[in-house]
Amino acid sequence: MLGNRAWIRLAAAPVVVALAVTACGDDDDESPMQSFVNEYCSMLSSCCESWGAKNDGGATCKTFIAYMSMGATYDAARGDACLEYMRTAQSEGKLCTVATSVSTTDPNPCQEVIETAPSTGTTQPGGTCDFSDDCAAPAGKTANCASYYSSDGDAGSGSFVDYCQVVTPGKEGDGPCSMTVTENGSTWSSGMGGDKVLEAISCAKADGLYCDQTSRKCTAVSADGADCKISEACATASFCSSSGKCTPDIAIGNACEKYYSDCVDGAYCDEASGECAKLKAQGEACVSMTECATMDCTDSKCGPGFGSGLVQGMLCGH
């Protein structure tokens, strides 16, 4: 995701990280942040045994979050909403399921509680990197660990080289661009061909733009009915159909194209019926991961979502 600041997902996410917490002392001296962590970890510790792990009363959870904090900012209103959500789930016997489920359709208030601190990466543009967080970001800009294909030079013949790249939000006509940012913050990389570009442009769908792979410039998205080659070039809630036209996302119950992500949010193209159908919840029968809201079909049932085991490992003792 672009940006040096992003809301960290606590429950219902692959990683439980980044809350600044000092060592827990007397309850009377707890800050709102410490109080949140204590209750959050204590509630989830009750699930550890059912996950096949050790219930250590939340100690592992608290230690891990404190270790990973590094200056994060706590939003008390969101924290209260998260805890209320968890209390309700616990009263309904669903806490141990929602705690590690990574659903694409079930918003969870625990997903937006903590804001990360700015990146502390120090690698300058052009330097080698493994992750975007390795890279230094100038004020008002972001940093990205990009790749280019080198036929010789940096990494020898026929190799991909990862390097730090500064990324600036673009306006229509700006370039060279390297990625399109969707409304939910995810990115579609457009690459830079064989070039090593130290400063690139990102194009935001929220601004009605995408990164055109031919011109390498931020370009206005096309209206429904316009010619297209990729769905990225079409307006929000539209896709590029097999006929090469921008087309509105298809509603549940209507015919869809098997190999296209052409259904509305919360739906998938059912191969058997040839129609858009509602994504299935955890525990429902499935054939492929595309049918599940968690994007996890294991043993013919929709699972909790990839990364749930990692979450459990962070929450529980061993």
Asked if 22 and 94 sit in the same domain, the reply is yes
Write out the residue range of the structural domain in which residue 159 sits: 132-220
Residue 243 lies in a domain: no
Asked if 108 and 176 sit in the same domain, the reply is no
Residue 199 lies in a domain: yes
More confidently predicted of 195 and 5: 195
pTM beyond 0.85, yes or no: no
Cβ atoms of 164 and 125 within 8 Å: the answer is yes
The torsion region of residue 154 among left (phi > 0), alpha (psi -120 to 50) and beta comes to alpha
Residue 179 lies in a domain: yes
Residue 246 lies in a domain: no
How many whole angstroms separate alpha carbon 284 and alpha carbon 225? 37
Asked if 96 and 69 sit in the same domain, the reply is yes
Helix extents (H) in 46-181:
59-68, 76-91, 95-98
Asked if 82 and 162 sit in the same domain, the reply is no
Residue 215 lies in a domain: yes
Cβ atoms of 62 and 41 within 8 Å: the answer is yes
How many whole angstroms separate alpha carbon 175 and alpha carbon 244? 25
Number of domains making up the chain:
2
Whether residue 69 is predicted with pLDDT greater than 90 in this model: the reply is no
Asked if 77 and 136 sit in the same domain, the reply is no
Residue 239 lies in a domain: no
Asked if 200 and 109 sit in the same domain, the reply is no
Whether residue 89 is predicted with pLDDT greater than 50 in this model: the reply is yes
pLDDT digits (tens, 9 = 90+) for 172-213: 999 888 888 887 666 666 655 567 888 888 899 889 999 998
Domain end residue (candidates: 89, 118, 147): 118
Asked if 86 and 150 sit in the same domain, the reply is no
How many whole angstroms separate alpha carbon 223 and alpha carbon 22? 52
Asked if 100 and 184 sit in the same domain, the reply is no
Which segment of 15-29, 30-44, 75-89, 270-284 scores lowest on mean pLDDT? 15-29
Residue 285 lies in a domain: no
Closest Cα to residue 296, out of 3, 9, 14? 14
Asked if 72 and 163 sit in the same domain, the reply is no
Asked if 180 and 114 sit in the same domain, the reply is no
Asked if 54 and 112 sit in the same domain, the reply is yes
Residue 229 lies in a domain: no
Query: What is the pLDDT, as a whole number, of residue 70?
Result: 55
Domain end residue (candidates: 87, 118, 149): 118
Domain end residue (candidates: 220, 255, 284): 220
Asked if 90 and 193 sit in the same domain, the reply is no
Whether residue 304 is predicted with pLDDT greater than 50 in this model: the reply is yes
